[in-house]
Structure 1
């Protein structure tokens, strides 16, 4: 009678032994997977010290940490492998695996490209623009342009809502729209068409080339993006008038692109990590930008820079110029027209809601900070 109870004890021991081995295997499998890492060359279009390059690194940090090292983004600055304006071609060809830039840099291939980076100032901001990308059909149109019309071997994510860009840096303050006539001015993307419509002689330069050109008198004025980036480039050393507010680039965002062949080869989990890292970095970028840009604007004031608001007369002239640019380019390019109509429909509905729903920030700010 004493032998009967021993059998179940032996069975339990065997079961626990087998279960333990199975459990160990279940734990070991992910460890084997995680040991198989992929390192991607990821180049920005920005100089090492630029806050934009920092933003590019913030995205990479999220991917590296969330993937547990299975996908490692090796962050490189502009020129490390190819010049800034050659980054897109290098990613499509597989010379680079990924890149960080702005859509406006590629508008030479199709002017509609700039609609996904520096869209017309329809009364929206970059938050609303990214909402259109995700919920208003923007990504369908972006993918149609990239993969069907231009047949580029790329996958892209738009991220990082930029605050409205300043009109730029000048040797003397601009008072009226006539001051743009004959002005040698640097900008990129659709803003180049806009400023030409206003009479400016536009030159398209990479970030690192702008200040030397302004110093030598090759250009009379220029915009890059924000107080932090502009101060690092040294604008304050060659010009003392910094004009804020403009409709030339009021709703811009960054673009992160990947070689499509390599991206498609990722596991579904890693693809999701890349997508959600872009969305996470998008919010963090704006939080950081509001902190740093405001601090650096005060720093520029302390260095004798005259910070002025762009006169309303110039702003109204920009909007009138947008009318002509959009009409002209829509007549020339059916896809361009298709994108603009989608954007206008989104803005009319969504910003229409915001206008009646959101109280005036100006009214509240002046109430508490009258000085």
Structure 2
């Protein structure tokens, strides 16, 4: 049987209790170790939090450069999510870059008339003009004020056109280009001492029909040019044109400029019948250096004898006040009858009947 070993008695005096200090020390050491571990954990956690915070703040910094992420190895089948990048901030230009340059006005077709070759076109209206008394432009109120009488719409109604040609001249006769036998009719008018112009049909405002081949604003520029050339080829010996109706067309700067540019190229003149107050004739004639005359009085808008007589009196009044009056009438029976009685009285009243070209020199662009 093994021998039982008796442990040695505790140190100290007899009867004294065994001190508990070694156990307390052990417990205290355990607590100290636990506290150190906790402190180490807290310090580690704090460090992790600090690193995370620095990472987050670093990513939010506006000047942090973008780090390119390498694509995943091929064959993984996974793609890293790509964060949307912020849109670039637009650069605001200096204030002067916001100001728009002035836009030049739109130029109508053929803004510059073709240059006439010397001796080729020249002033064709002068070559075809009817001789008239050589007189200076009279001052307002002076004796022998000038009156221009224009008869429109000739050529279609042959009997009334013949009656108009029989008026004592010089009368300015305006012939519709779609009438028949214009060569013979205009030749007879020229032989009677009357001046000739082409009465070009143009689009009016409203539903009135200006006749075949009229110049309208919806035509192409090329078609306007083609129709005008056809009108100018209908007869010869004329000094220019005037508009038949045309209250819409003559108010259209782009289309009317085609007409006046061609007249300027040919050395012709334009009588603006002024069927609208919005006509662009005067300003375009100045642009193209084109002789232009404007109508003062319409004789027979009202075709009653009393109304026609009142308009003839107005012609005399305008001539006395301005030195010149331009009247337009039509081959209506009432108008022709009134003119047959009125024209022989003009000389005794101090008026001189002159052709249209006689007053060109007194108009802008007419020299």
TM-score interval, smaller chain: under 0.3
* Higher share of residues assigned helix: 1
> TM-score, normalised on structure 2?
0.24
TM-score of the two chains, using structure 1 as the length reference: 0.23
